[in-house]
Amino acid sequence: MYKVEAIANYFIEKGVAVDYPLNQIILQKLLYYAYGWGLVMSDREKLFDAPIQTYACGPVIFKIYHQLKHLGMEELEDPIPRFRSFIFENLLAPRLNPKNKRDKRVIIFLDAIWREYSGLSPIYLTASLLAEGTPWDKLKKKYGRVANGTNIDDQMLIDYFLPLKKKQEQLL
């Protein structure tokens, strides 16, 4: 399991490297898809250490949200530090190491998530995560509304992503 900042930083740095900087909404959605797909592609192994939670605009990782909310909808160009330090901020930013065998496999997986979802608009991504049958939608129906900060448990994500995986496998 990785620090969520390391996964977020991979996407942020990838966006900068390919001249397609992300905003916070797209980053949150990429993290959601990476976590959900990761659960069903790795036999329920969690990709990162932070829970997926509900928010009015869909699923979020509040640990990342709270670190970036001061930026609003600005493009993300700098990595998220693990600790706040004005002197060593970039040195403390958790990152994946492409020379590490395990990290390299995760990078290949994250690149697939990037190819599939990064080009979609924030409006489309948000709508797709709030759509009928999604974990967010199921929680809304269960409680009549979605309270901010409600954990979306891993089993709900597996129940949502596993049929998508099976459908994708049938197409191959």
Tell me what pLDDT residue 26 has. Answer: 95
> What span, in angstroms and rounded, lies between the C-alpha atoms of 151 and 46?
14
Q: Which domain holds residue 93?
A: 4-171
Is pLDDT larger for residue 80 or for residue 12? 12
Q: What count of other Cβ atoms lies within 10 Å of the Cβ of residue 151?
A: 11
Output the CA torsion sign for 119, 123, 124, 125: positive
Residue bearing the bigger pLDDT, 170 or 66: 66
pLDDT above 80 for 8: yes
- Report the distance separating Cα 126 and Cα 47, nearest Å: 21
Section 38-49 average pLDDT: 94
**pLDDT category of residue 144 using cuts at 50, 70 and 90:** confident
Res 82: pLDDT: 63
Domain count, the chain: 1
Query: Region 42-47: what's the mean pLDDT?
Result: 92
- Mean pLDDT, rounded, for 58-62: 94
pLDDT given for residue 87 in this prediction: 54
Q: What is the pLDDT of residue 42?
A: 92
Instruction: Output the six-digit token pair for 106.
Output: 């995760």
> What is the model's pTM?
0.91
pLDDT at 92 over 70: no
